[in-house]
Amino acid sequence: MGRKNKLQKFSDLLTFSNVYENYNFHHPVLIGTDGEEIDLKGKWNKDHFKNDKPITLELACGRGEYTLGLGRENPDRNFIGVDIKGARIWKGANIALNEGLDNIAFLRCRIELLSHFFGKDEIDEIWITFPDPFLKESKSNRRLTSLFFLKQYVKFLKNKGFVHLKTDETNLYEFTLETLADQELYELQEHNKDIYSGPLSIPELELKTYYENMHLEKGKTIKYVRFQLK
């Protein structure tokens, strides 16, 4: 993607009513439409969605394919896709606006900052779909199912709220199970190292992103883990 195209998309994001951004990791403030600062912590339903429906986050959402799919299939819920890449978020946000999907929003920020932007018990559910597995052991704390991140989610995930991981990466799948076995915050509900080898346990697993289809074409198996905040 050319630099000019990226700059245009960054400019577009400032006009999108369904996108909020944080530009500075050391200054956790959200910027909304037309560059105005906005405080949505604990107020996403009241000030953005204008309803009291449950909120689901998709972390590392990329172009927002899964967020869009979840939002289309569940109009009785609200969905927020989170990613640090603005050019990726642009696509999902643009589609949501064009389709009139008012139950979908996007947040551009580092996932480490989420507790600055969501209040206690504000989030009902989290999806982590095909995240970077950070295969080097020295970067294991950057995996979105590491204990560091599991402790972050507690700050805004409701009691009994679910976290879902969908991945093609065996190492991340096994790492997640090992991490869950060695902590007391969450209870493992389900895990499957090849979800398409039998009936799917929940309909949301039927959604497939561009990259998942690529993984399947290469013969990779798709793994799934679901765990619940105690």
Kind of pairing, strands 37-38 and 30-31?
antiparallel
How is residue 117 written in tokens?
Answer: 């932007």
Radius of gyration of the chain (CA): 17
Q: State yes or no: is 132 an active-site residue.
A: yes
User: What are the two backbone dihedrals, phi and then psi, of residue 105, each rounded to the nearest 5 degrees?
Assistant: -135, 170
Kind of pairing, strands 104-108 and 78-83?
parallel
Q: Distance between CA 88 and CA 66 in Å, rounded?
A: 13
Helix (H, G, I), strand (E, B) or coil at 219: coil
Amino acid at 150: L
Q: Distance between CA 147 and CA 185 in Å, rounded?
A: 10
| Residue of 39, 47, 121, 132 marked active site | 132
Q: Are 121 and 159 in contact (CB under 8 A)?
A: yes
Measured CA to CA in angstroms, residue 44 lies from 55, 121, 131, 180, 226 at distances of 9, 12, 25, 29, 25
Across the strands, what pairs with 106?
Answer: 19, 81
Task: Tell me which residues are annotated as active site.
Answer: 132
